[in-house]
Amino acid sequence: MGISPADGRTMPLVLQTSGGTTGLPRPMLYCPQDRETMAILGGRRFALHGIRPGDMVLVTYSLGLSNGGMAPREALWRYTGAVPVMTGSGANTPTRRQIEIVKAWGVQVILGFPSYLRHMALVARDEMGIDPHSLGIRLIGTHLGMENRRQIEELWNAPAFDMYGTHESGMLAAECRHQSGMHVQEDAFILEIADPETGALLPDGQKGTVYITTLYKYGAPQIRFNVNDLSAFRTDACPCGGTMRRLDRIYGRNDNMIKLRGVNVFPEAIGAVVAEDSRTNGEFFCFVDRVGEAAVERMEVRVEITDPESDWAAVRDDLERRMKEVLGVKVIVTPAAKGELDAYTGTSQTSKIKRVLDRRK
CA–CA dist 61, 64 (Å, integer): 10
Q: What is the mean predicted confidence (pLDDT) over 189-210?
A: 94
Residues 6+ apart with CB under 8 A from 74: 35, 38, 39, 42
Q: Report pLDDT for 23.
A: 57
Same domain, 61 and 1: yes
Judged against a pLDDT cut of 70, whether residue 67 lies above it is answered with yes
Are residues 288 and 159 part of one domain?
Answer: no
Which carries the bigger pLDDT value, residue 158 or residue 119?
A: 158
pLDDT > 90 in the chain, percent: 67
Condensed to tens digits (0 to 9), the pLDDT of residues 9-25 reads: 999 999 988 765 555 67
Q: Which of 61-70, 124-133, 323-332 has the lowest mean pLDDT?
A: 61-70
Answer yes or no: do 161 and 36 share one domain: yes
> From the CA atom positions of the chain, what is the Rg in Å?
21
pLDDT in tens, 202-243: 999 999 999 999 999 988 889 999 988 999 999 999 999 999
Does 275 share its domain with 142? no
Select from 254, 273, 302 the last residue of a domain: 254
Q: Kindly indicate the confidence band of residue 164, based on its pLDDT and cuts at 50, 70 and 90.
A: very high
Last residue of a domain, one of 211, 228, 254: 254
Looking at residue 62, its pLDDT comes to 84
- The mean pLDDT value for 275-304 works out to 89
Q: Which residues contact 95 (CB under 8 A, 6 or more apart)?
A: 119, 120, 123, 348
**What is the four-CA torsion angle of 138, 140, 174, 346, rounded to 10 degrees?**
170
Tell me the per-residue pLDDT of 126-142, one tens digit each, with 9 for 90 and over. Answer: 999 999 999 999 999 99
State mean pLDDT over 148-154: 91
Q: Find the CATH number of the domain harbouring 354.
A: 3.30.300.30
Predicted confidence at residue 49, as pLDDT, reads 98
* In a shared domain, residues 182 and 298: no
Report the predicted TM-score, pTM, of the whole model to 2 decimal places: 0.81
Q: Is the pLDDT of residue 100 over 80?
A: yes
Residues 236 and 313 in one domain: no
Backbone dihedral angles phi then psi of residue 206, each to the nearest 5 degrees: -95, 140
Q: Which of 221, 254, 287 is the last residue of a domain?
A: 254
Mean pLDDT of the chain: 91
> Do both 173 and 228 map to the same domain?
yes
**What is the pLDDT at residue 188?**
96
β-sheet bridge partners, residue 285: 302
Looking at residue 155, what is its pLDDT? Answer: 94
pLDDT, position 135: 97
Query: What's residue 203's pLDDT?
Result: 96
Note whether 247 and 285 are same-domain residues: no
pLDDT at 3: 84
* C-alpha torsion 199→204→209→212, nearest 10: 90
pLDDT at residue 19 in the model: 65
Residue 45, C-beta contacts closer than 8 angstroms, at least 6 positions apart: 75, 141, 163, 165, 171, 174
pLDDT at residue number 43: 97
| Mean pLDDT within 43-56 | 97
Whether the predicted pLDDT of 2 surpasses 70:
no
> pLDDT at residue 66 above 90?
no
Same domain, 128 and 221: yes
Q: Which residue range(s) make up the domain with 195?
A: 1-254
pLDDT value of position 181: 96
Which helix (DSSP H) or strand (DSSP E) does residue 305 occupy?
strand 296-305
Amino acid letter, residue 238: C
Handedness of CA 147, 282, 70, 73 (dihedral sign): positive
pLDDT of residue 21: 52
Say if residue 198 is in the same domain as residue 313.
no
CA-nearest of 168, 167, 187 to 69 is: 167
- Statement to judge: residues 295 and 217 lie in one domain: no
Number of domains in the chain: 2
Higher-pLDDT residue of 2, 119: 119
Cα 313-318-323 angle, rounded to 5 deg: 125
Which CATH number fits the domain that encloses residue 96?
A: 3.40.50.12780
Mark whether 153 and 11 lie in a shared domain.
yes
